[in-house]
Homo-oligomer: A and B are copies of this chain.
Amino acid sequence: MNFASDNAAGIAPAILAALGQVNDGFALGYGNDAATRRVETMFCDLFECEVAVFMVTTGTAANSLALAHSAPPWGAVLCHSDAHIMTSECGAPEFFGGGLKLVGLPGDAGRITSSTLLAALEGPEWGGPHHVSPAVLSLTQATEAGTIYQVDDIARLAQAAHARGLKVQIDGARFANAVARLGVSPAQATWKAGVDVLAFGATKGGAMAAEAVIFFDPAQAAAMGDRRKRGGHLLSKHRFVAAQFEAFLADGLWLRLAKHANTMADRLAQGLTERGLRPVWPVEANLVFVALPAEVHKKLQAAGASYYAIQSRTVPSGALSRADDVLVRLVTSFCTQPHDIERFLAAAAG
């Protein structure tokens, strides 16, 4: 009954096996190996266009490197005020970006609307030499609230951003979950809707430590290899990161794993709703946020369920109606099993 995080899960078997397979023999370091070449081709195929790919081992690195490469030090990155890059990276984007500024925008259910973006961009507080200049719109897909942006949402946001000269970046730590839910092609979910650069996450989806920065315009990636290296993010035995992606992308494994996690979240949400515990935000990925009465929380803890109680300033009014409610985040993953859900619901019911 572990719902603490998708990074509390281990490695999907096929990905673990791939590490063993790629281990055979010698391979030049630093990405000059065959597995890396294959993964680059796979990403081009997956996105139906020429892309530039930079693999790293953490989402912090993928997002920070992508943002630093897309914004000057005097640029601003606009993102949701609850975005992970804003709240939980200890200032990594600021560090990699030479002191750039993150600007949080409000928005229900973890999503920024295009009208909010437009209003923000029309404010008086932009432009040199006195003010930072808006440089990047960063969208989290799926969001921190477990919701997703529809393709039309992204297109509208990207249009507004591009009209003001901003690049559009996606923090895709849970991109697989979003695409699995959207039911569109990865290309439709990204560059066809106006996305310039994507941090494509595999770790939460079942890899060990594998994230990729994908530039949809390879020209924008010039010197990104230097930036990655001096950030300490170019692995010497690079084939082992590549191998994770190779297995993750092969035969649509990444989407199957994500669909499973989403389905488990749906089932959990449904079970909770049936017991009167309706999630506070729509469940569109693998995250379920729910306000638990204190006694239910206590029962679940006693039963050994693992999850985090969180504080949120953006929960819809009314969601925490009971004074002693505990807002919790429940995360499913590729390895969540139906019986985990059942046990959890049973424990909640007491």
The interface of chain A, by Cβ under 8 A from chain B, is 2, 4-5, 7-11, 16, 19-20, 22-30, 56-62, 64-65, 72-74, 87-92, 94-102, 123-125, 128-133, 203-204, 208-209, 223, 225-237, 240-241, 306, 310-311
Contacts and interface: CB of A to CB of B under 8 A. Distances in A.
A92 B236 contact: no
B232 A231 contact: yes
Nearest to A4: B28
A210 to B, nearest CB: 10
A9 B29 CA distance: 9
B7 A232 contact: no
Nearest to A225: B129
A166 to B, nearest CB: 15
A155 B22 CA distance: 42
Contact of A89 (B64, B100, B123, B130): B130
Contacts of A7: 29-30, 236-237
Contact of A129 (B74, B97, B234): B234
A220 to B, nearest CB: 14
A28 to B, nearest CB: 6
Contacts of A240: 11, 208-209
A102 to B, nearest CB: 8
28 contacts: A4-B26, A7-B236, A10-B27, A11-B19, A30-B129, A57-B209, A60-B230, A72-B223, A73-B91, A73-B98, A73-B227, A74-B91, A74-B230, A89-B229, A90-B130, A91-B100, A92-B231, A95-B99, A95-B230, A95-B231, A101-B102, A128-B229, A129-B228, A203-B236, A203-B237, A208-B237, A209-B209, A231-B231
A91 B102 CA distance: 10
A74 B227 contact: yes
A61 B223 CA distance: 19
Contacts of A208: 19, 237, 240
Nearest to A3: B26
Contact of A128 (B11, B226, B237): B226
A226 B129 contact: yes
A232 B234 contact: no
Nearest to A309: B124
A346 to B, nearest CB: 19
B56 A232 contact: yes
A125 B204 CA distance: 22
